Copies of this chain bind each other. A is one copy, B any other.
Amino acid sequence: MSDGKTGLQLRSLLKKSGELELSLVSIVTPEPAEDEVVVRVEATPINPSDLGLVIGPADMSTAKVSGSKESPVVTAKMPEAVMRMMAARLDQSLPVGNEGAGTVIRTGSSDVAKGVMGKTVSVIGGAMYSQYRTMNVKDVMELPAGTTAADGASWFVNPLTALSMTETMRRENHKALVHTAAASNLGQMLNKVCIKDGIDLVNIVRSKEQADILHKIGAKYVVDSTAAGFMDDLTNALAETGATIAFDAIGGGKLAGQILTGMEIAANKTAKVYSRYGSSVHKQVYIYGGLDTRPTELNRAFGMAWGIGGWLLFPFLMKIGPAEGQRLRQRVVDELKTTFASHYTQVVSLQEALQLDHIAVYGKRATGEKYLINPNKA
């Protein structure tokens, strides 16, 4: 086994010419400072949020692979239309991968750093598609005995997002919530959190198959936006649960506005007096994804007490501060094999992650297909 003094790292480079290049570079592992540790990365998931940076909106039908088997290079064309939005990343070779897990193989001199020597740890902090990562010890989390790196790889993005959604709900004084694209890996996790915590969750899906997935894990409120009675089904679920906050991964089209309209109708079912400004109940939709890239269309038939906005995990964690964040992280680690368990359909090396047949599968971002990279796979 390598001493970890150097290691491979996956890079994404978008050239001014519009060519996207994915490659592996060999980098020297920085020696750990006092409070730092070197982690041998053994498991790091490919999340939709990672793909946004690795591939983004590149046209992967134009993808070609060159280089050697040990050091493949993938190139693909970025559509002209999106290049303007990419100005700030042009000609920079960017490391990628948000989260992962592995073994601490070297530490700095502080007691807290030395305390995790040899331990299996989960890690957050970017550039995880690397064989070795030198991290501040505060960004690693020791895993309980019997927990593997694969168990702990997806410990941050989806679990913390699910917990932060229910946390946002509480902090903004709502009592139940709505989630769209609800059969996703994240959506299933959110159902498990809500069932465990006794929170009513209205799941909006786009097919009967997705509804079935959620019913099978115990979801009570599942409405299908492609069904004829969608608005009635949605409004009934909103009235029954009293949900007045939604997290929306779709973004485009009329869905966000339909959710607000349903909430307003539900609120007015119990209103006592006429107000031409509509119900005084505040209705909120947070858009955290853009599966539908069309414009968001709001008919504003939902009174004046409403808000829509962007929502991201990291700014939310900044807002609640490190102590609260630590509480959420600890819950994830405690429930890694239950509430927050992830299932992977493939485990690949860094080189395999750059094979076109694999890219074709994980690049689809399909529900039920989830890849794990092991950068130190033998």
Residues of A bordering B, CB below 8 Å: 52-53, 56, 85, 88-89, 92, 94, 251-252, 257, 268, 271, 273-277, 280, 287-288, 290, 295-301, 303-312, 315
A88 cross-chain contacts in B, Cβ below 8 A: 268, 271, 273-275
Most buried by B among A251, A273, A288, A309: A309
A295 cross-chain contacts in B, Cβ below 8 A: 257, 297-300
Residue of B nearest to A277 (CB): B312
Residue of B nearest to A314 (CB): B277
Q: Give Cα A271–Cα B87 distance, bound, in whole angstroms.
A: 12
Residue of B nearest to A310 (CB): B304
| Contact assessment for B276 and A56 in the assembled complex, using a CB-CB cutoff below 8 Å | yes
Most buried by B among A56, A92, A277: A277
Residue of B nearest to A274 (CB): B88
| Contact assessment for A304 and B298 in the assembled complex, using a CB-CB cutoff below 8 Å | no
| Contact assessment for A309 and B310 in the assembled complex, using a CB-CB cutoff below 8 Å | no
| Contact assessment for A310 and B299 in the assembled complex, using a CB-CB cutoff below 8 Å | no
Q: Give Cα A290–Cα B94 distance, bound, in whole angstroms.
A: 45
Residue in contact with A297 in the complex, picked from B89, B277, B296, B308, CB distance below 8 Å: B296
| Contact assessment for B300 and A287 in the assembled complex, using a CB-CB cutoff below 8 Å | yes
Q: 18 A–B contact pairs at CB < 8 A?
A: A52-B276, A53-B276, A85-B301, A89-B274, A94-B274, A257-B295, A280-B315, A287-B300, A290-B300, A295-B300, A296-B299, A297-B297, A297-B298, A304-B310, A304-B312, A307-B307, A307-B309, A307-B310
| Contact assessment for B310 and A303 in the assembled complex, using a CB-CB cutoff below 8 Å | yes
| Contact assessment for B310 and A308 in the assembled complex, using a CB-CB cutoff below 8 Å | no
Most buried by B among A52, A274, A288, A290: A274
Q: Give Cα A297–Cα B252 distance, bound, in whole angstroms.
A: 10
User: Nearest-CB distance from A212 to chain B (Å)?
Assistant: 31
Residue of B nearest to A308 (CB): B308
| Contact assessment for B305 and A310 in the assembled complex, using a CB-CB cutoff below 8 Å | yes
A305 cross-chain contacts in B, Cβ below 8 A: 310, 312, 315
Q: Give Cα A271–Cα B274 distance, bound, in whole angstroms.
A: 47
Residue in contact with A251 in the complex, picked from B53, B288, B300, B306, CB distance below 8 Å: B300
Residue in contact with A296 in the complex, picked from B56, B298, B310, CB distance below 8 Å: B298
Additional A-B contact list (19), CB under 8 Å, known A52-B276, A303-B310: A85-B301, A88-B268, A88-B273, A88-B275, A89-B276, A92-B274, A252-B300, A277-B312, A290-B300, A295-B297, A295-B298, A296-B298, A297-B298, A300-B310, A304-B311, A306-B310, A308-B308, A308-B309, A309-B309
